[in-house]
Amino acid sequence: MSRPLSAALTFGATVSTLLLLAGCASSRQSDDGFFARITPYRIEIVQGNVITSEQAARIKPGLTRLQVKDILGTPLIADPFHGDRWDYIFTIRRDGLPNQRRSVVVWFDGDALKTIEAPELPSERDFVQGISVSRKKPDVPVLELTEEQRKALPPPPRRDEAATPEIPAGPARSYPPLED
């Protein structure tokens, strides 16, 4: 191969590669391009204690640490340097949904509950609906026929009441006795 032909082929290959890469870069930048529709899978991360408004309503000043733990669960953070404070933190990160983060702080005076600092907490029903993957109500099958549908059904076959039931043919089975 001659040197000018080799240089021309190298130049042509370089230009072709650059044009291809430029095309890929422009499709990545456009919102309706191929790569805009491909997103990586993001794992769902749930951490901490779920505390609902029903649980927080049961917390009253004067409860012992054990009673608070029975209602709210074990705190996520019980700092040994701040023995009078328990922190209940809840976070959830899901793909396609806004992140949720709630922090509830419980203060003690000795062994008795002093106060609880909580944001507006969801009810149990609201929380479950908030984490539900499907927003669409499931299709409930119809379990009963309407009167028009019943009338449209064919009549059941008549059974001959005088007919005798058919006796099976063949030898009867012999079973061993149940007790010895």
**Same-domain status, 38 and 62:** no
pLDDT at 27: 46
**Same-domain status, 20 and 95:** no
Rg, the chain, Cα only: 36
pLDDT at 2: 61
How many angstroms separate the CA atoms of 132 and 122, rounded? Answer: 14
Q: How many CB atoms lie within 10 A of CB 93?
A: 15
**Same-domain status, 32 and 104:** no
Q: How many CA within 13 A on the CB side of residue 70?
A: 6
Residue 82 lies in a domain: yes
**Same-domain status, 94 and 22:** no
Say which CATH number the domain at 71 has.
3.30.1450
pLDDT at 3: 67
- Report the number of distinct structural domains present in the chain: 2
Burial class (CB in 10 A: 0-12, 13-18, 19+), 107: middle
Q: Are 48 and 88 in contact (CB under 8 A)?
A: yes
Tokens describing residue 61:
């000043």
**Same-domain status, 31 and 54:** no
**Same-domain status, 51 and 125:** yes
**Same-domain status, 33 and 102:** no
Burial class (CB in 10 A: 0-12, 13-18, 19+), 72: buried
pLDDT at 5: 64
Terminal-residue alpha carbon distance, the chain: 101
pLDDT at 174: 74
**Same-domain status, 27 and 52:** no
**Same-domain status, 55 and 123:** yes
Residue 150 lies in a domain: no
Strand partners, 91: 47, 101
**Same-domain status, 60 and 83:** yes
Which domain does 27 fall in, by range? 13-42
Helices and strands, counts by H and E, the chain: 6, 4
Tokens describing residue 119:
């944001």
Residue 49 lies in a domain: yes
Residue 126 lies in a domain: yes
pLDDT at 138: 62
For the chain, which residues score pLDDT lower than 70? 1-5, 8, 22-37, 132-138, 160-165, 168, 180
pLDDT at 177: 74
